[in-house]
Amino acid sequence: MIPRIAITPGEPAGIGPDITLAIARQPWPAELVAICDPDLLRERAAMLDLAVEVEEIVSPQGQPETHTPGKLKVYPVALNATCTPGELNPANASYVLYTLHAAVDACLAGRCQAMVTAPVQKSVINDAGIPFSGHTELLAEDTDSERVVMMLATRNLRVALATTHLPLKEVPAAITTDLLESTLEILHRDLQQKFGLAQPRIAVLGLNPHAGEAGHMGREELDTIIPTLERLRARGMSLQGPLPADTAFNPKVLDNCDAVFAMYHDQGLPVLKYAGFGEAVNVTLGLPIIRTSVDHGTALDLAGTGKADPSSLRTALDMAISMAHTTGSPSVIPA
């Protein structure tokens, strides 16, 4: 099976178009379809002196073809306003969201086997008067997914989160039995189905320093986390913990687990990004589709300069292709 992958270049004034063009210049065992304004890519390619031929298509359909280096198929979505690299324009906020909705629709309809997203600028979308908290929440709504899980991964480390973009003071109240059970079940299932791990081993971090120190540094471990893990172990899940977060990221633990489950954003992600920044991938678990993304922002200061590093997008695409093969996603619906 040759999968078809939808790519959304994200914020047009950022480096998304640049890195999309960069990866289009190399061979891929998949068909790549960028969902964006084709003239944006042509203008950015000329600015960067990149020889990439942009081929407009009616829609992603038919039998996928292996990507031809230096040529990129584009499902056209027109910008609302002209775009200058590095200069945000709220007028293009709805354009950015439309490209995401179109990619989700293509995946749900079976015309694409995965979507890979370049970074968006949340602030400019909100400045346009459109409530937007991130890709993850939009994808959950578009696919009617009750709960999703954010996981970042390098080639050697995976870190999933119980809570995501939540103020630190609100995290303890959010760590409930229901949250832990549902997110760990999603993580366990998707490690099986999308990563091909028959019996995933998950290391679970505690919420408090020293994992609560037997209740002396907080009771969340005793009252919520430990009882939940015991119930899930009884269902056959392989779970370590709760482990103190300051000592969990060491070879003794990591060599014996397939993923680390952190309680909040800045508990797990600083370690992962230190270990593999620029080559990490953001994966949304719990969706009926495959979605991977870069681990960085729009880098407005680098847009149009030729200095943007496409490594994370390259890794995200590579992982999406691998996941498409693992899940055995059905061939696209013929035209």
Q: How far is CA 6 from CA 42, 104, 113, 142, in A?
A: 18, 9, 8, 16
Query: Model pTM greater than 0.75?
Result: yes
pLDDT digits (tens, 9 = 90+) for 147-197: 999 999 988 899 999 998 889 999 999 999 999 999 999 999 999 999 999
- 281: nearest Cα among 269, 292, 268, 270: 292
Q: Which fold has domain 1-145+287-334?
A: Isopropylmalate Dehydrogenase (3.40.718)
- 157: nearest Cα among 241, 294, 275: 275
Domain ranges of the chain: 1-145+287-334, 148-279
- Bridge partners of residue 261, in order along the sequence: 160, 204
pLDDT digits (tens, 9 = 90+) for 100-128: 999 999 999 999 999 999 999 999 999 99
Same fold across 1-145+287-334 and 148-279: yes
Binding residues are 135-136, 165, 210, 265, 273, 282, 291
CATH superfamily ID and name for 148-279: Isopropylmalate Dehydrogenase (3.40.718.10)
Helix (H, G, I), strand (E, B) or coil at 128: coil
309: left (phi over 0), alpha (psi -120 to 50) or beta: beta
Helix (H) or strand (E) holding 33: strand 31-36
- 229: nearest Cα among 183, 192, 265, 271: 183
Angle at 261 between CA 259 and CA 267, to 5 degrees: 120
Q: Is the pLDDT of residue 243 over 80?
A: yes
Binding residues for a divalent metal cation are 165, 210, 265
Binding residues for substrate are 135-136, 273, 282, 291
